[in-house]
C-alpha cells in the first residue's frame, strides 16, 4: 500500500497542532494541540510500517505511554497554575506581568 496519503494527513495534523500551540493563548488548548502534534507523529510512524518497517509501530506504543504520563503531569501543573493565577491564559503567567 502507498503510505503517501497517510503521511500527507499526518503533515496536516502536525501543522494544525503546531499552529494551535503557537496561536492559542489558553494553556489547556495548547496542551490539546500538543497532543495533536504527537499523534500526528504517531500516525506517520504507523504509516511508515506499511512500507515494511515494523519498528515504527513499536515506537508509537511507547510514545502513547509517554504521552499519557506527560498529560497527567501537564494537566496537574495547569490546574495548580490556574488556581494560583486565576486565569488559564499563558501570557498572564509571566512573573513580571501585573
Partner 1 sequence: MLWAASLALFAPLLGAILNGVFGHPFREKAHWPAVIAVGISMLASWWILGRVGFEPVVLDLYTWIPVANFVVPFGFYIDSLTAVMMGVVTTVSFLVHVYSIGYMHGDPGYRRYFAYLNLFVFSMLLLVLANNYALLFVGWEAVGLCSYLLIGFWYEKKSASDAGKKAFIVNRIGDAGFLLGIFTLFATFGSVRYDTVFQMVASNPHLYQGALVAATLFLFLGAVGKSAQFPLYVWLPDAMEGPTPVSALIHAATMVTAGVYMVARSHLLYSEVPQVGQLVASVGAFTALFAATMAMVNDDIKRVLAYSTISQLGYMFVAVGLGAYTAGIFHLYTHAFFKGLLFLAAGSVMHATHGELNMQKMGGFFRKMPHTAWTFLIGALALSGLPPLAGFFSKDEIIKHAYVTGHTFIWAVAVLTALLTAFYMFRLIFLVFFGKPRDAEIYAHLHESPPVMTVPLWILAAASVGAGWVGIGEEHSVFHRFLETALGEFHLVEWTVHRPAGVGLIALSVGVALLGILLAYSLYLLRKPDPALLARRAGFLYTLLKRKYYVDEIYNLFVVGTLRVTAKVLFWGVDRALVDGTVNGTGWTLAATGSVFRRWSSGFLRSYLLWILIGANFLVWFLLRSGGGH
Asked whether position 51 contacts partner 1 by CB under 8 A, the answer is no
* Residue 27 CB burial class (10 angstroms; 0-12, 13-18, ≥19): buried
Asked whether position 66 contacts partner 1 by CB under 8 A, the answer is no
Name which of 59 and 81 has its Cβ closer to partner 1.
81
Name which of 86 and 96 has its Cβ closer to partner 1.
96
Name which of 13 and 65 has its Cβ closer to partner 1.
13
Instruction: Indicate the DSSP class of residue 24.
Output: -
Burial 58-70 (b: 16+ CB within 10 A, else e): eebeebeeebeee
CA 15 to chain centroid: 11
Residue count, binding to partner 1 (CB under 8 A): 11
Interacting residues toward partner 1 by CB under 8 A: 18, 21-23, 25, 90-91, 93-94, 96-97
Amino acid at each position: 500500500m502507498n503510505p503517501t496519503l497517510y503521511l500527507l494527513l499526518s503533515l496536516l495534523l502536525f501543522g494544525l497542532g503546531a499552529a494551535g500551540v503557537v496561536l492559542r493563548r489558553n494553556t489547556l488548548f495548547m496542551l490539546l494541540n500538543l497532543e495533536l502534534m504527537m499523534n500526528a507523529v504517531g500516525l506517520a510512524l504507523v504509516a511508515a510500517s506499511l512500507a515494511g518497517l515494523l519498528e515504527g509501530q513499536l515506537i508509537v506504543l511507547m510514545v502513547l505511554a509517554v504521552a499519557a504520563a506527560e498529560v497527567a503531569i501537564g494537566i496537574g501543573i495547569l490546574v495548580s497554575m490556574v488556581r494560583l493565577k486565576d486565569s488559564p491564559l499563558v501570557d498572564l503567567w509571566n512573573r513580571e506581568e501585573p
